[in-house]
Structure 1
Amino acid sequence: MIDTHSHIYLPKFDEDRDAVNERAAEAGVRGILMPAIDFDSIPLMEKLSHPGIAFYKMAGVHPCDVKEELPNDFEEKLLEYCSRDDFYGVGESGLDYYWSTELVKQQKESFHLHCKVAKQVGKPVIIHNRESTADMLEIIEQEQDGSLKGIWHCFNGTAEEGRRAIDLGLHLGIGGVVTFKNAGVDKTVAELPLDKMMLETDAPYLSPTPKRGKRNEPAFMKFTAEKLADIFEMSLEEVDEKTTETAKRLFGV
């Protein structure tokens, strides 16, 4: 399995990161893709290692970390990191209207720049979307010139929104929310193609049932995989194989 979205580098794992990684390896996780929150995330990512797991870095600035003024060298810095061979994606970027709508203009500007860089380097953009689906899809439509690829991280839209996202060239990141009893994401996911989906955790956030309320970690991805196996009436091995192959193709790992 490949965890396509994990913040395993954050301080919440400082006290037991080795044990967390060991549990992940035992659960069958062989790769962990790490989207950045900001540029300060990158040195933290570079410290990670485990003999059974490959760690893959990404560079970007989370929409909740966008400032009132984007730095003058923002695009240049983003392009510099994402052009490197040891970076595998651009982000996470996107829009978040849940916490505040004061900096919507700046969030959109940042998201456009991330998409622009993603097209330049030929790597996927990782999209955070919270209460901003219409604007997010509109920006993807504006930016899509046939070369933009990416993941709608933590997909929780409607089936119609999911189909539109896929038509626009996106894949869907499926995490713990699909296991939540009353979220309805499982019913939506059932209407969409598995070959456009990838597994993710968003660790340390959004732990799947039966680990809700606890710190999330890559090993818990097996519960999400089991839920997809149930939804699509497949074996767990088939779900692991299909989602892993999709992730390998998209990220070139």
Structure 2
Amino acid sequence: MPVPYIDIHTHDAVEQEDLFQLQSLFLQDFEQNPSLNYPVTAGIHPWHAHLFTPDEAREMLERNIGNPYIVGIGETGLDRSIHTSLAIQEEIFQLHIEAAEKIGKPIIIHCVRCWQDVSRLKKDTSIPWILHGYTGNLQTTQQLLKKNFIFSIGSHLLDRRAKLRESIEIIPIENLFIETDDTNVDIREIYHEVALLNNMPPEDLKMHIFGNLKKIFGPIVRA
């Protein structure tokens, strides 16, 4: 089987022969779907942090994170664009960090105008921290690379004015994923743009991203 395109974060998976999509589910929705039998990531989104007490969130995580079909914890994180206080969001986010550490699974992070806050919370850990939908500028990227974050790049890169385009040139290929999130953009367009900015053939980029998937998530897809 040829190496597929990898979409590391999508909310609307559509089966295609040359594409593997890692679907992101809200943890409360995952819990209501006991027949699910394919790999996903799941967590309490910061938009929903106010819906659960810390005890409720902890118990829901404990009930579910050991499920073998949950291969990553999240998306979870911090978001300054919503009304829920950062204190409440951070408390729920911290529970995910502890759960990911305990179970040994990567954590998928939603971060909106909270780069410094998320960086502050990242301690010495062997758990990969993946910043999904990353849009940071060159200076932000340089700071985050010092703590070995992994960057998942989406359709924002296709905007020729995006400061993110400068960041692509300094992100090591082993710290990179590509995603579509909640858009209907063809993942191949993003691959093409990343390959162009890195001056490499798209097929080589596919191999690298597939290798990153195996390294961080294990053998969840064959090629």
TM-score interval (norm. to shorter): 0.7 to 0.9
User: Given the alignment, which residue of 7, 31, 40 partners 2:29?
Assistant: 40
- Specify whether residues 197 and 105 from structure 1 end up closer, same or farther in structure 2 by C-alpha distance, changes over 3 A only: same
User: Given the alignment, which residue of 7, 11, 16 partners 2:11?
Assistant: 7
- Structure 2 unaligned blocks of 5 or more: none
Give identity over the alignment, percent.
Answer: 24
User: Given the alignment, which residue of 168, 188, 197 partners 1:189?
Assistant: 168
Preserved CA contact (<8 Å) 1:197 1:243: yes
User: Given the alignment, which residue of 130, 141, 144 partners 1:162?
Assistant: 141
Preserved CA contact (<8 Å) 2:152 2:176: yes
Structure 2: distance between partners of 1:175 and 1:46: 30
User: Given the alignment, which residue of 46, 60, 80 partners 2:63?
Assistant: 80
Structure 1: distance between partners of 2:34 and 2:75: 14
Letter in 1 for 2:88: Q
1:45-194 paired onto structure 2 within 5 Å: 55-67=38-50, 70-100=53-83, 102-140=84-122, 144-194=123-173
Q: Could you list the per-position Cα deviations for residues 94-144 of structure 1 after superposition, in whole angstroms to 9, with x for gaps in the alignment? A: 1111133x421110111111111010011111000111111111112xxx2
Letter in 1 for 2:23: M
Preserved CA contact (<8 Å) 2:137 2:166: no
Shift of 1:2: 1.5
Structure 1: distance between partners of 2:33 and 2:160: 35
Preserved CA contact (<8 Å) 2:136 2:163: no
Normalising by structure 2, report the TM-score. Answer: 0.87
> How many residue pairs align between the two structures?
215
Greater strand share, structure number: 2
Normalising by structure 1, report the TM-score. Answer: 0.78
Structure 2: distance between partners of 1:165 and 1:184: 15
Aligned CA RMSD, in angstroms, stands at 2.1
- Structure 1 unaligned blocks of 5 or more: 10-19, 49-54, 206-215
